[in-house]
Structure 1
Amino acid sequence: MTKKLYYDSAYIKEWSTTVTAAIEREDGIYMTLAETAFYPLGGGQPCDTGTIGGIAVLDVVLEDQEVLHKVAQLPGQTEVECLIDWTRRFDHMQQHSGQHLLSAVFLKLYQAATVSFHLGSEYATIDLDLQELSAEQLAEAEQEVNRKIYQNLAITSYFVTAEEMAKLPLVKLPKVTEDIRIVEIEGVEHNACGGTHVASTGAIGMIKLLRSEKQKGHVRVTFLCGGRALAAFNDHVQIISQLSVKFNTGKEEIMDRIGKWEQEQKLLVTELAAVKEQNDSYLARDLLASMEEGSGVLTHISDDRPLKDLQSLAAKLTALTDLPVLLLSAAENKAVLANSGSADFSCGAFFKAHLGKYQGKGGGSDKLAQAGFPSWEDALAFYNFAKGQF
């Protein structure tokens, strides 16, 4: 059986060992080692990656107490040098230790037990046995958990027997009855856990609680620890700096400046809508005035109007004439067909019957239908065809 070096120390980064077996499966090649510091997937913690004999480790799993390492190919020798991806490992150590400390704080402050833990690639979450958690409580927990970090409390791990375990104030009893590993945070908690952890709370760095939300009868708290929290802080500082430059103001006044900008944008949108409404009215009258006598349909091709504007123009036109209205947008390769309701045909039915011949997709009601086309040629061909049907 493989000797699990990650139980001796989570800080082992490289070592020499012997390949003891190779296993070929449908999903790839696996190998076992005499000793390994590669942590396998389990307990909410992702597996380690790195290299064995210079070959990438793709996955690490635990089966029947044996650690299997999935590799791209087998090394050419049995004696190999192993190297842990330390950035990934230490990140997992910070997040996992941070979770233990955070869970202990929630239990102490609000008697809220942690019912599940997930360590993702971007953030970690815990689900608490709570019905709700206020913003004030979230802030209080964040202050307290970071105070525990500043105290730099020792984090140790060790194996105990079932008899020894019975004497410990465990947060939760483990499912196993032998090889029971305890992770202890000095003066805070004893927890049965097989994961990798930092040596003291100070190495967690900091914990930032991002949000809390209700989740299937519990409260889910999303958080970042250590390097992840620092990276998020740097991202936020960069965004704030860019906003300060963009709005030509200090960071303290950014929100006020954004509020004023939003008001300005609302006024501009209102003014633009009024101008477009007026222009549509002018264009509608011009189109009606320029129609050829005896025409059975009012048509128009717009070079720059989007579909939404064509629909608005169609509404203006059908209020002024009982003729069907056919409009085409060159900007979006889209067509609109409308009528006032007095016509004896359905716009939606017409599109449904003929769009397929021109690779068009769309539909609508009796009074209004719209469609899009993959190319201008298809859109124009349909437009010309539809003109001839009225």
Structure 2
Amino acid sequence: MTEKLYYTSPDISEWRTDITKIIEQDSTILVTLKETAFYPEGGGQPWDLGTIDGIDVLEVFEADEEVFHKIAKKPLQTSVKCQIDSFRRLEHTQHHTGQHLLSAVCSELYDVETASFHLGSEYCSIDLTVPFLHEEQLNRIEQRVNYLIYQDNKVKTYFVDKEKLHAIPLKKWPKAESNIRIVEIQGIDFSACCGTHVKSIGGIGLIKLLKTEKHKGNIRLYFTCGRRALADYKEKHDTLTKLSAALSTSYSEVESRVARLEKEKKDLQKQLEEIEVLNARFHAKQLLENSPETLVAFVFQDKNYKECERIAKEAAAITNQVILAATEIEKRIILTHKGNSPFDCGGFFKEHLKKYYGKGGGNGLSAQAAFPSLENMQNFIQFTVGQLN
């Protein structure tokens, strides 16, 4: 059986050992080692990556108390040098111990238990057995966990049998019957856990709570620790620096400056919409002059559908005629009237649109459609004008 260096020598990242077995399954190569520091997936923690004899390790898993390493190709020798991705391991270790501490503080402060834990490359989270947490509560949790990190309490790991578990204040009873590994943050928490952990909680570096969301009646709390938290801070600091430079203001004034710009944008947008309505009304009046037909068709080469729709509705509001407006840019049309005509716009589309490969629909007062080609749209418009005029 493989000696598990990730338990006996958790700081080791390079070592030499012997391959004890090579298993070839189609294109899959599995090897077992006399000693391994590669942590297999378990306890919510992903497997380690690295190399064996310079060959990439793709996956590590445990089965029947043996650790298997899936590698990219068959090694040429049985005495091999192994190396784990120490940065990945450190991130996993910081977040795993960080989760234990965070869960302990949530329980300590608000009697909230952790239902599950996710440690991924994109995010880390715990699901808490509570429907919500207020911002004040989250701030208190964050302050407390980081205060404890500064105290740098030791983290001890040891194995016990089930008979001795009654003397340990565990919040969650393990399924294992024997050789149960306990992770103890001195004076703070006891948990049955098979993952890798820092030697003392100062090694977590810091814990930053990111956000919460509802999940199956509980709260999912996202957080980051250590190296990843530093990277997150740097990314956000760089963004804030660029924003403050672009806005010619200090960090503290960015939020109020953005709020002011957002208000100015909304005011300008409102003014623009009012102008666009007046412009559409002006166009509609011009286009309706000397147009006695039952249907008046406007075909625009340089306007988008939104502009066409606005002009059509303004025209329909001031006449009893049926209005058709089309945009050649988007190959879309609108057919509408204000209700004084018995003409059914949606019904007309339903009856005739497919013959011209158009797609769309609507109700009696208004309908819209899109066409795969300009020719299809022009033919449909010509047909419609012929039917109504």
TM-score (norm 2): 0.91
> Corresponding residue for 1:365?
363
- Distance (whole Å) between structure 2 residues aligned to residue 131 and residue 188 of structure 1: 25
Aligned to 1:90: 90
1:144 CA drift (Å) = 1.0
Q: Secondary structure at the match of 1:369?
A: strand
Q: Report the secondary structure of 1:224's partner residue.
A: strand
Report Cα offsets for 1:268-322 as digits up to 9, x if no partner. Answer: 112111111111111111111154x6x4531222244332332222111222333
Residues 1:136 and 2:136 aligned together: yes
Match of 1:312 in 2: 310
Q: Which residue of 2 aligns with 1:117?
A: 117
- Name the CA distance, whole Å, in 2 between partners of 1:73 and 1:376: 56
Deviations 1:140-170 (A, max 9, x none): 1111110111122222212222333332222
Aligned-partner Cα distance in 2 for 1:51–1:67: 15
**1:343 deviation in Å?**
4.1
- Change in Cα spacing, 1:283 to 1:215, as seen in structure 2 (3 Å) is same
Instruction: Give the 3 Å change call, closer, same or farther, for CA 149–261 of structure 1 in structure 2.
Output: same
- Could you tell me how far apart the structure 2 residues matched to 1:70 and 1:205 are? 32
Whole-angstrom distance in 2 between the partners of 1:109 and 1:43: 25
Measured in 1, the distance between the counterparts of 2:348 and 2:143 equals 66
**Structure 2 residue identity aligned to 1:333:** K
User: CA 1:126–1:317 in 2, change beyond 3 Å: closer, same or farther?
Assistant: same
| CA apart distance, 1:385 | 4.6
Partner of 2:76, secondary structure, is coil
For structure 1, which segment, 28-37 or 59-68, has the greater mean C-alpha deviation from structure 2 after superposition? 28-37
Change (3 A) 1:25 1:185: same
CA distance in 1, matches of 2:231, 2:324: 55
In the comparison of the two structures, how many residue pairs are matched?
388
- The residue type paired with residue 191 of structure 1 is S
The Cα of 1:131 is off from its aligned counterpart by 4.0
C-alpha deviation, 1:375, in angstroms: 4.8
The equivalent residue for 2:264 is 264
1:166 counterpart SS class: helix
Matched, 1:159 2:129: no
Instruction: Provide the C-alpha distance between the structure 2 equivalents of 1:78 and 1:92, rounded to a whole number of angstroms.
Output: 29
- Counterpart of 2:296 in structure 1 is 298
Shift of 1:23: 3.5
Please say if 1:51 is aligned against 2:51.
yes
Relative to structure 1, is the Cα distance of residues 359 and 49 closer, same or farther in structure 2, using a 3 angstrom cutoff? farther
In structure 1, distance between residues paired with 2:21 and 2:385: 76
- Go from structure 1 to structure 2 and tell me whether the alpha carbon gap of 1:180 and 1:354 turns closer, same or farther (over 3 Å shift): same
Structure 2 counterpart of 1:332, one-letter code: E
User: Distance between the aligned counterparts of 2:40 and 2:138, measured in 1?
Assistant: 32
The C-alpha deviation readout for 1:17-62, integer Å capped at 9, x for no partner, is 3333344457844332232222122111111122222222222222
Q: Which amino acid aligns with 1:217?
A: G
Give, in whole Å, the separation in 1 of the partners of 2:214 and 2:261: 34
- The DSSP-based 3-state class of the residue aligned with 1:197 is coil
- Change in 2 beyond 3 A, CA 1:184/1:272: same
User: Shift of the alpha carbon at 1:177?
Assistant: 1.5
Name the CA distance, whole Å, in 1 between partners of 2:139 and 2:236.
19
SS of corresponding position for 2:329: coil
What's 1:325 paired with? 323
SS at match of 1:269: helix
Q: Residue by residue, what CA displacement relative to the aligned partner does 1:346-384 show, whole Å, maximum 9, x if unpaired?
A: 322333344445543322222211223445455445444
2:34 aligned partner: 34
Q: Distance between the aligned counterparts of 1:377 and 1:17, measured in 2?
A: 74
Q: 1:72 offset after TM fit, Å?
A: 2.8
The one-letter amino acid of 1:310's match is C
- Matched residue, 2:205: 205
Matched with 1:171 is: 171
Cross-structure match for 2:338 = 340
DSSP-derived class of the 2:274 partner: helix
| Partners of 2:67 and 2:350 in 1: CA distance | 61
Going from structure 1 to structure 2, the CA distance change for 1:18 and 1:335 (only over 3 Å counts) comes to farther
Given residue 226 of structure 2, which amino acid in structure 1 is its aligned partner? G
State the distance in 1 between where 2:387 and 2:19 align.
79
d(CA) in 2 for partners of 1:137 and 1:69?
43
| Deviation for aligned residue 1:80 | 2.5
CA drift at 1:333:
2.7
Identity %: 46
The two structures, once aligned, show a CA RMSD in angstroms of 2.3
The CA deviation string for residues 235-292 of structure 1, in whole angstroms up to 9 with x for no partner, is: 221222222122221122222222221221122112111111111111111111154x
Q: Please list the CA deviations of residues 96-135 of structure 1 after superposition, one character each: whole Å capped at 9, or x if unmatched.
A: 0100111111122222222211112222111223343221
AA aligned to 2:4 is: K
Q: Which 5+ residue runs of structure 2 have no aligned equivalent?
A: none
Q: Distance in 1 between matches of 2:61 and 2:372?
A: 49
**Deviations 1:72-102 (CA, angstroms, capped at 9, x unpaired):** 3222333332221222111111110100111
Give the TM-score of the pair, scaled to structure 1.
Answer: 0.91
Cα 1:275–1:23 change in 2 (3 A) is same
Residue of structure 1 equivalent to 2:347: 349
